[in-house]
Each structure stands twice: as structure tokens, then as C-alpha cells.
Structure 1
Amino acid sequence: MKKIFLAFCILGTVLTGYAQKTDKRLQAQVTALLNGFNGDVGVYVHDLQKNRVIAVNADSVFPTASMVKMQILTGIMDKINRNELDYHQKIVYKDSLLYAGEDILGSFKNNEKIELGKVIMLMLTTSDNTASLWLQSLAGTGTRINELMDSLGLKVTRVNSRTAGREPNRLQYGWGQTSPREMVALMEMIVNNKVISDSVSQKMLRLLGRNFWDEHAISQIPSDVFVASKNGAVDASRSEVLFVNGKKTRYIFCICTKNNKDKSWDRSNEAWVLTEKLSKLLWEYYN
């Protein structure tokens, strides 16, 4: 009960702004940066050192795309914590699990064995969709994962795909949905060891620190700084959440976009360029 109470204290602070003040100078800079974006954009930033925040459309609901894998991670780690699964157990891949694409796991042969922890690594590090959907099922489906999100006080962060009763939401938002404020809240609870247990939260943070997709927000952070992150992208939505643990500063930020006019997949995509500019602005401001 103490763990749950502390988690809700952290969440209440993040979601209500209690005991937090807006960094007005940075707020003006971020607002100016976002101005003119051809789509809908939301940002939430929490400076953990000074307990200052920035919020622009922070409570609007956006597609998670692959950021949903943080929610799935929570579900699978809950199963491991309950001893219903073991991190190092071997599980058997079946052709029926294939989600068409360029995933590593999808190249496995039918009945090939793989360690559960490696499937988790593929989900987070390479954003492997076949691995992610397999883990979503093993976690108890989106229904159980959504119960966990609700227990953490997250009201709009949900898994939609392959989840009973969520079809209208899937049609609107895709695989999952969240808000910038709630995505930061989830990351902050992990950082503060308030998801499931201290040891589980610490394991989750280490796993989130191994992102192969490091060419956007992460690219603006010096390579000797620890970053835990998850990003997501579909044609008209690009989003990213980062915890940055620098020598002089610690902060978490999330940028979400939707209804993007630019649906290209090269480095010059408008949303990705904006994400890089925001990350650079924050790093330089705090340092």
C-alpha cells in the first residue's frame, strides 16, 4: 500500500502541477518553437532538479505508436514480478505470431526457442512489432495492461489494438493512446522506482536505456549522458519520450504529434526535425 500511495503522490504532482511552477522563460521559447507546425503537437517537460514544468497541449490525447511498448513493458514486468513468467525462461516462437514487416523476430523459424528477456529487448531496443504483440498477449492482453495503467492513476494512457471494447479508440488513435503529461508521468514513476517495485523499476529503466532509434531526440544529447527513451512513428504521427540524466540536470520530456501534413520517412520529416530542435533547446537551456 505504501508503494501505491507514493506512486499516486508522484502522479498527482505531475498531473495536477501541485508544488510545481511553470518555467515562463522556457515556456515562451518552446511555444515559439512549436508555432507553425503543420499538424497537432503537444509537449510536456519536467525539470526534476528545480521542479519546473512546461506544458503545451499536454493533456490532449495522441496516438502512442510504438511508445505503447512502455505500457506493454509494465504489463510483462508485472507478470514476472508475480512469478507467472521468468525473465530468463525460454519461450517458443510460432509462425502465427508474425506481424509482417522488417522485424528480427519475424525471421525466426517456427518452433524456435528464445529467452523472454531477449524478446523484451527486441520490443524496446529495435521496436520489434512481432515481439511486442507477443508480449502484449503474454502480459494478459491490453485489458490487463490497461488495468495496470489505471492503477497507476493514468486515465487516458491505454492499449487499444487487440483489446476488447477498445475498437473505436483503435480506429481513432491506433495501437495505443496517451497524453504528453501522462507519458512523462509514467517515465517519472519508473525513474523514481514507483512502478511495481524498486528492483522492477530499475530493470525497466535499464531496458529503456538501450534504444537503437537514436537519430532524433537522443541525437541532441551528448553520448556520455544516460538517456532512457521510447519513440513511436506512423505516417501522420511521430512522438518521443526521454529521461535525460546529465551531470548538471535531470529532466523528462515528451513530444507528441498527430494529423501531420508531412508523412515522409526521411530525416527531413517536419515532426522529426521539430523533435530534434526541441531536444537541443532543452539540453542547451538546462546546461
Structure 2
Amino acid sequence: MTKTNLSFTHIALFLLLLLFVDIIHAQSKFKVSNIRSQSVSLDTEIKKAISGFQGNVWIYAKNIDTGRSYELRADERVRTASTIKLAIMVEVFAQVADGSLNWNDKFIIKNKVGGSGILSEFTDGLEVDLKTLVNLMIVVSDNTATNIILDRIGADSVNERMQKLGFKYIRVLRKIGGGGEAKIMKENNNHLFGIGVSTMREMAKLLEMMEKGEIISKKASREMISILRRQQYTDGIGRGLLDTTPIASKSGALDRLRSDVGIIYTRKGRLVIAITIDDMPFVLYNQENPGLKMLWKLSSILQKHL
């Protein structure tokens, strides 16, 4: 091959390399632009959905598999209602793991409280084991089961566990109906939050860590997710899901508040969602509650975009 041919070959290769680099750069710019466009579209659709809604909305959502996320007032403290039972469940599993508790430990049904659950219909004095109490606390959001557990482990131990796990704001404040107050109850206006306080970012992070096997142990995390997948109140973020789309979640309902935190196992990835709706103008305890409908509407939008 002549020197002239070599120089032409080098030039051609150089030009091809420049073209390849330019294509890669263009694709990268397109991807970034597309992601930004999708983010703007998602935010626009969320804002449109809640425009005119009578109530306040807090959101954090993340596709665990792609890393894409969305947030709205995600770091503001909110009332938890029954979603705080997630943190209580974590502490029970931790104490079982270290031997402080045993799943076969027996508890006496007493001091029953109303609201969600079934133990309030049981006869005082009956015995129930710890595993059953935890299942009832999550699966049917049993308030009496929750209080029996808190009488044993204490709100402060739950809060210490959350602190160790890196959560600054997830805190149990008292038992349902009153009593068993945490040490922090009178700090930072905590008394305004009822039974518990959290942020949407931290609630979502707790579920993400659980899904990844990072809470207590892989086995414990897997068992907790299994319980959440059997949770019966799916009229919020899981309201219109197909039977073929699994969800692991915990809902909360209290006067003018509706809250839901969960993982929806979509085809695009595992989508962790935490939404709280509060300050609605009226109290309505049925499936037509506008807060429940809004939870599903926002969930649908997040599933579409994330």
C-alpha cells in the first residue's frame, strides 16, 4: 500500500471516528432531553390532577429498577395514620431476630379499641400469639393488635430502631386512642401528628430498603414484604390494579386524611410510592372518599411515567 493510500485510510478512519463520537453525543443529548421532557410532563400531569382538589398532597415515588423518581413536598412531616404500623412491624422483627421476642409468645386480648381490625370483636381474656398480632396489624390494620404490641415493645424502641436505620422523621408517638406516649411526644409540636409522624421520602425509602433485603436481614425483609402483599385495604394506590399486578402496601385512614405507601410490581420495574392526602374539608369513611380516588389517580400517573 502506498503512502498516499495510507494517508487516505487514516483520514477516512478519523472521519468515521468523529462521526461515531458525534452520534454517541447526539444520542446522549437526546436521552437527557427525553428524560427531562418526561419529568416535566409528569410534574405537569400531577399538578393538573391536584389542581382544584380540596386538600393537601405529599408525594414521593421511585422506580427501584431504573432510579427514576418524582417528589412533591416529600420532606415535609405529615400525619401517618396507620402507615406507621410499618415501623412497628420492623421493630417486632428486629426483637424476634435478637431473641427478645418469640413468634409463639402469647398475649391476652384486653383494652380493645375501635376502628379497623377484628380483635375488638373477640372475647376479653383470649390468648393470641405474636405472629398473629403482627399479621392482623398489617393485613387488616388491627388497632387492638397494634396497641397490644406497643404495650410490649414500647414506642421509644421503635423510634430508636428507626434512628439506627437512618430515618430522622419516622416516629411512633403514642398508642391508638391514647396512652403509651413516646419520649418525643412533646417535642417539635409532635402532639399535632397523632399516633405517628413521617415524611414521604422516608416512608418510601423504608419500603425500598425492605424490598432490597436491607431491613434486619434478607429473610426478615422478605417475610415483611410477604405480609404487606396480603394487606386487604387496596382501595388507594392499588385501587384499579389488575389481579396480575402484585402490590405490597400499607394504607392509613384517619378523619380528613388518607395515606398509602407501597410497592407496585409493574412491567417497567418495582415502583415504590408514598402519598399522603390530608386537610380534606369533610370526613367520609367509605370507598367514595375523594382522597382514595385521588390516591389512585396519582398512582396511575406515576405508573405511566416512572
Q: Give TM class, smaller chain.
A: 0.7 to 0.9
Query: 1:100-119 counterparts in 2 under 5 A?
Result: 100-101=114-115, 103-119=117-133
Q: CA deviation at 1:223?
A: 1.1
The amino acid across from 1:189 in the alignment is: M
Contact 1:220 1:283 in 2 (8 A): no
Contact 2:83 2:250 in 1 (8 A): yes
Q: CA deviation at 1:82?
A: 0.8
Partner of 1:8: none
The amino acid across from 2:182 in the alignment is: A
Query: 1:91-102 counterparts in 2 under 5 A?
Result: 91-95=106-110, 97-101=111-115
Partner of 1:197: 217
Root-mean-square deviation (CA, aligned residues, Å) is 2.0
- Residue number among 61, 81, 86 corresponding to 2:102 in the alignment: 86
The amino acid across from 1:108 in the alignment is: F
- Residue number among 235, 249, 261 corresponding to 2:269 in the alignment: 249
- Unmatched 5+ stretches in structure 1: 1-19
- Residue number among 119, 141, 149 corresponding to 2:154 in the alignment: 141
Query: 1:1-287 counterparts in 2 under 5 A?
Result: 23-87=39-103, 89-95=104-110, 97-101=111-115, 103-138=117-152, 140-161=153-174, 162-168=180-186, 169-286=189-306
Q: CA deviation at 1:105?
A: 1.4
Q: CA deviation at 1:170?
A: 5.0
Q: CA deviation at 1:49?
A: 2.5
User: Please, what TM-score do these two structures have when normalized by structure 2?
Assistant: 0.81
Contact 1:262 1:270 in 2 (8 A): no
The verdict on how the C-alpha distance between 1:272 and 1:113 changes in structure 2, with shifts beyond 3 A counting, is same
Moved more, 206-215 or 106-115: 106-115
Q: Distance in 2 between matches of 1:115 and 1:165?
A: 28
Q: CA deviation at 1:186?
A: 0.6
Contact 1:58 1:179 in 2 (8 A): yes
The verdict on how the C-alpha distance between 1:199 and 1:109 changes in structure 2, with shifts beyond 3 A counting, is same
Q: CA deviation at 1:30?
A: 1.6
Q: Distance in 2 between matches of 1:109 and 1:141?
A: 24
Q: CA deviation at 1:122?
A: 0.6
Deviation per residue, 1:39-72 (Å, 9 max, x gap) = 2211111012321111111111110000010010
User: Please, what TM-score do these two structures have when normalized by structure 1?
Assistant: 0.86
- Unmatched 5+ stretches in structure 2: 1-34, 175-179
Secondary structure of 1:190's counterpart equals helix
Deviation per residue, 1:199-254 (Å, 9 max, x gap) = 11111111111111122221222211221100101112111011011233211111
Secondary structure of 1:43's counterpart equals strand
Contact 2:172 2:182 in 1 (8 A): no
Contact 1:105 1:128 in 2 (8 A): yes
Q: Distance in 2 between matches of 1:262 and 1:136?
A: 30
Q: Distance in 1 between matches of 2:115 and 2:44?
A: 41
Moved more, 264-273 or 206-215: 264-273
Q: Distance in 1 between matches of 2:163 and 2:263?
A: 22
The amino acid across from 2:170 in the alignment is: T
Deviation per residue, 1:67-105 (Å, 9 max, x gap) = 010010011111111112122x0413242x312346311
Larger Rg: 2
Q: CA deviation at 1:128?
A: 0.5
- Structure 1 segments of 4 or more deviating over 6 A? none
The amino acid across from 1:157 in the alignment is: I
The amino acid across from 2:99 in the alignment is: N
Q: Distance in 2 between matches of 1:268 and 1:192?
A: 34
Contact 2:117 2:142 in 1 (8 A): yes
